[in-house]
Amino acid sequence: MPALPSPLLPGFHPDPSAVLVDGVHYVVTSTFEYLPGLPIYSSHDLITWEHIGNVATRPEQLGIEDTASGLGVWAPTLRHHDGRFHLIVIVTGSPRGCVVFTAEDAAGPWDDGVTIDGIEGIDPDLAWDDDGNAYVTYSAFVVTGPDAGTHHGIRQVRVDLTAGKILGEPRQLWSGTGRQFPEAPHVFRRGEHWYLMIAEGGTERGHAVSIARGPAITGPFEGAPANPILTAAGFGGPIQCVGHADLVAGSDVMILLGVRPLGRTAAFSPLGRETFATTVTWHDGWPEVAPLPAPRAVPVEEHFDFADPAALDDPGWLAVGRPPAQVASLTETPGRLTLHGIAGGLRASRPAFLGRRQRQLSSTFTAMLDASRGAGGLGCRYDETFHVTVEARGTTVTATARVADLEQSWTASVPPGEVELRIETVVPEPGGDGADRIRLIAGDVCLAELDGRYWSCETAASFTGRVTGVYAAEGTVTVSRFTYSGGPA
């Protein structure tokens, strides 16, 4: 097999799940508070990947309009059965709960989904036994209510997917080796055995993958003698926090999440949790996981001219809690993208913001923006309390860095009319204590250069990653062009 890309899906792509159908691999990842939700990627060779669509393109599919940042779409599982794709996910903080979406084509359109009542937890898996009975296996972690934070291990229940109900009481399954947070279960059959693979140890530095096997989809399951079969805990290396893995129908490729930390102590991961892959060999009925390939980021160049009426058709655009079409218009101001301000800018929980994932550690985002009728700019968002912006208001440009309750700003004057705003990230020479350097630039003036450690997943305590794009904080803002270049780091 040719060397796998590393990362397989760079940038904010956590909790991957994969399926192989008619020689094509498909992968989906979590999206939390962003819409569209649940991106679908496809590949014929595991090397070249295409973002072919998103499962949730309509607000009613997820019901996350008022969901807090960090909640929403957690850890889906993608499967194929009886000629249809199935995606199961528990939408936290939403009345939708545990939902199963289906589609004939992974690129969509996907249906509105069926809620399965009676499942309380996260990270659901969907599998069918030899008789066609459907089972949901999940991590019984309580997210909301008076018992929030309580963990009841891995559970499983037979379900009626058409009626949206459980058939009996959930039962306990093997829940790992005793490490904290048993989660991300996946059940599959290989040969004579059924396997239950889970993550444990937490999604931070103690993350690990463990596996058990048994005679039936319901178990009983016995843990592998070499558990955990994968972890970076206690080992040096450029990829850490590895876990939350999936195997494609018991295949020889494992898809998983990990981070690429920077700094002398390898303590800060600017891009958050990304999707990686490695190979698996089988010995005596147990998987042996190969070391992850060293990171080899591929350069990328993206140019969006908003005079093009198809500029927003690319499935990689993201907005917070709303579809991009509800945030920005290509028809209101011919030839330009138009946004209407929401007070607070990126401080708002639902900002007028349209962005894209930062996918390389070295990157440049550029926007040609006119704020003569309002205020807005270019921002890099982890959430409403961790972000950086460079904002135009008339002939004044202000760069702002926000870290929780702390905020600092720098200002400069620019000529009236359209202004070029840039956010650059640069990987420093090895040996520094921080992470990358973030530069906030207007025209040819660098207003601020910042230590990126404060906008990393470890500091922001966010499950997402950096998303950079244009926003409006007041009045009307228009944008003629948006570009992203990244790599090779």
For residues 299-332, one letter each, b for 16 or more C-beta atoms within 10 angstroms of the residue's C-beta and e for the rest, the string is eeeeebebeeeebbeebebbbbbbbbeebbbbee
Catalytic residue among 33, 123, 125, 183: 183
Same domain, yes or no: 331 and 211: no
Same domain, yes or no: 285 and 326: no
Same domain, yes or no: 278 and 315: no
Average of per-residue pLDDT across 217-226:
98
> How many CB atoms within 10 Å of residue 390?
27
Residue 398's nearest CA partner among 352, 442, 462 is 442
pLDDT at 97 over 90: yes
488 band by pLDDT with thresholds 50, 70 and 90: confident
Strand partners, 187: 196
Given this model, what pLDDT does residue 22 score? 95
251 band by pLDDT with thresholds 50, 70 and 90: confident
Rounded CA separation 188/217 (Å):
8
Same domain, yes or no: 279 and 329: no
Mean residue pLDDT of the chain comes to: 95
Average of per-residue pLDDT across 163-184:
97
Same domain, yes or no: 277 and 356: no
Same domain, yes or no: 266 and 337: no
The rounded Cα 444 to chain-centroid distance in angstroms is: 33
pLDDT at 112 over 70: yes
Given this model, what pLDDT does residue 250 score? 63
136 band by pLDDT with thresholds 50, 70 and 90: very high
Same domain, yes or no: 334 and 239: no
The answer to whether residue 383 is catalytic is: no
Alpha helices in 52-170 (DSSP H): 59-62
Residue 198's nearest CA partner among 170, 214, 179, 225 is 179
7 occurs within a structural domain: no
Q: 312-341, pLDDT tens digit by residue?
A: 999 999 999 999 999 999 999 999 999 999
**Pairing mode, strands 467-486 and 300-305:** antiparallel
The rounded radius of gyration (Å) of the Cα atoms in the chain is 22
pLDDT at 11 over 90: yes
43 band by pLDDT with thresholds 50, 70 and 90: very high
The answer to whether residue 169 is catalytic is: no
Which of 239, 265, 289 represents a domain boundary (last residue)? 289
H or E segment at 458? helix 457-460
Which of 289, 317, 346 represents a domain boundary (last residue)? 289
- Domain containing residue 319: CATH number: 2.60.120.200
Domain that residue 450 falls in: 300-486
pLDDT at 107 over 70: yes
Which of 225, 255, 289 represents a domain boundary (last residue)? 289
Residue 18 backbone phi and psi in degrees, to 5: -135, 155
This prediction's pTM: 0.96
Instruction: Check: CB of residue 328 under 8 Å from CB of residue 339.
Output: yes
pLDDT at 249 over 80: no
| Total count of domains within the chain | 2
Given this model, what pLDDT does residue 174 score? 97
461 band by pLDDT with thresholds 50, 70 and 90: confident
pLDDT at 1 over 80: no
- Domain containing residue 69: CATH number: 2.115.10.20
Least confident of 174-183, 270-279, 427-436: 427-436
Same domain, yes or no: 92 and 222: yes
Same domain, yes or no: 324 and 349: yes
Burial environment of residue 191 by CB neighbours within 10 A (0 to 12, 13 to 18, 19 or more): exposed
Query: If you search the block for the tokens 């009728």, which residue do you land on?
Result: 373
1 occurs within a structural domain: no
The residues near 414 (Cβ < 8 Å, ≥ 6 apart) are 392, 395, 396, 397, 442, 443, 445
Same domain, yes or no: 115 and 244: yes
Catalytic residue among 15, 123, 246, 383: 15
294 occurs within a structural domain: no
Same domain, yes or no: 267 and 322: no
